[in-house]
Structure 1
């Protein structure tokens, strides 16, 4: 499936493939049709994590060019990150030269910030835990001044930070954009409210989707933190009790809700936690009835997650239909709704 090469001006006009698992059928629609595909009493849950500038260019003490992509901030103030070799957005990560091996204790500089390797993590010497000399406001100021959002080689130009923000983004927790929400303009959200669809939010730290390293990519997604408000838990419980459907916007919302329920015997609990839950074939969702997501090709980790909601054969048929019809994939591409009518 061809990638969308740039964000569109009117994302609500993007195509939407509606996949109905029980009916074993699919149909073409538009994102703007979403209100007509949901019901009065349904609940749409979004990830309100804002995307921060996680791509940091720098040099080692010997002058070698590197890129450090931040993955997650840890409780002790250190960061988990992935190291890349020299290159820019024009070259695919899998085609870039390998980065230098940086043992524990190595100091180097990114975006003018001194940083030290404090741990090398399995399964790859490229996966590091690092500590910046700066912290708090000084660190965040430097990241926003010198960093940039994670780039993609299929785009026609470098992305700016505003290209990867949803309309409702809040806390800067996301390494890469929770892209399923990018087409949800305020016009669509208001139309959903008029339809009687309720809206709720949580914050989930969406991590890297890929690194170009097969060993590292096989270990994705990494454990990720989420914060689920008390109000969202109450809305989920009320929706389910009334016979409504809980629809997640993106796989990050599915992971946050189902991961939290799995930790607590099927009960959704408010607050902050970290989940390492991997969803896929055979997993039975306890909270979410369906999801709005991007177009994912068979064989991808996101496609495997969809098999928790629809049969593999149906998903493959839908993907073949989408490709034949010219649907576009990746972060700025078209959408799919996996939900029974």
Structure 2
């Protein structure tokens, strides 16, 4: 499947492939059709995490060039991060030279910030826990002044931070965009409200989707934190009580809702938590009825996640159809709605 190479000027005009798992069928549509595919009293839940500049260029103490991609902010103030070799947006990460070897205690500088390696973590010497000398406003100011959003080699040019923000982004928790929500413009959201569809939000710290390293990629996604407001829990309960369906915008929303429920015996509870829940074949969702997501190719980690909602055989037919019809994939591509009517 070809990747979309740049954000569209009118993302709400993008294509939408509607998949109905129970009926084993699918049909072509457009995002503008989304209100007609949902029902009054359905609930659409979005991830309102804003994307922050998690790609940091720098050098080791000996002067070797490197890139550090932040993965998650830990409770003790340290950061988990992935180390990359030198390169820019034009070169795929898997084609870059190997990064320098940094051991515990090693010091380096990125975007003007001094930092040190606290520890090297399994399963790869590229996975690090790092500590910055600055914190608070000084740290975040440096990140926003010198950092960049994570880049992709299939894009036409370097991405700016505004290219990877949803229209409703709030707290800067996401190191990569919760991309399923990128085409949800305010016009489309208002059309959903006029249809009688409820809207709710949560915040989930979307991590890296890929590193170009097979060993590291096999360990993704890492545990990620979420914050589910009490009002969202109330909306889920009201939707259930009135026979509506809960539709997640993106796999991060599924992970947040289902992970929180799994911690509480199937009951959704408000609050902040960290989930290591992995979605995939055999997982039966207890909160979410449907999923709005991007187009994902077979063999990718995101495609495996979709098997929690539809069988692999159907997803294979969907992927073949999407390829034949010219659907576009990746962050700025077309959308897929997995939801029974």
TM category (shorter chain) comes to over 0.9
Aligned partner of residue 167 in structure 1, secondary structure: coil
Deviations 1:170-208 (A, max 9, x none): 000000000000000001000000000000000000000
Residue 70 of structure 2 corresponds to which residue in structure 1?
Answer: 70
CA drift of 1:300 comes to 1.0
**Distance in 2 between residues matched to 1:155 and 1:308, nearest whole Å:** 30
CA drift of 1:241 comes to 1.3
Residue 122 of structure 2 corresponds to which residue in structure 1?
Answer: 122
CA drift of 1:101 comes to 1.0
Deviations 1:213-260 (A, max 9, x none): 000000000000000000000000110111100000000000000000
**Distance in 2 between residues matched to 1:156 and 1:106, nearest whole Å:** 36
2:226 matched to 1:226? yes
Residue 83 of structure 1 corresponds to which residue in structure 2?
Answer: 83
Residue 272 of structure 1 corresponds to which residue in structure 2?
Answer: 272
**Distance in 1 between residues matched to 2:206 and 2:168, nearest whole Å:** 15
User: Structure 1 residue runs of 4+, over 6 Å off?
Assistant: none
**Distance in 2 between residues matched to 1:147 and 1:301, nearest whole Å:** 27
CA drift of 1:38 comes to 0.1
Q: Give the RMSD, CA atoms, in angstroms.
A: 0.4
1:1-341 superposed matches below 5 A: 1-341=1-341
Aligned partner of residue 308 in structure 2, secondary structure: coil
**Distance in 2 between residues matched to 1:63 and 1:119, nearest whole Å:** 21
CA drift of 1:311 comes to 1.1
**Distance in 2 between residues matched to 1:136 and 1:32, nearest whole Å:** 42
CA drift of 1:82 comes to 0.2
Counting matched residue pairs gives 341
CA drift of 1:100 comes to 1.0
Aligned partner of residue 257 in structure 2, secondary structure: helix
**Distance in 1 between residues matched to 2:221 and 2:51, nearest whole Å:** 17
CA drift of 1:301 comes to 1.1
Unaligned runs of 5+ in 1: none
Deviations 1:34-60 (A, max 9, x none): 000000000000000000000000001
Unaligned runs of 5+ in 2: none
Query: TM (normalized to structure 1)?
Result: 1.00
Aligned partner of residue 202 in structure 1, secondary structure: strand
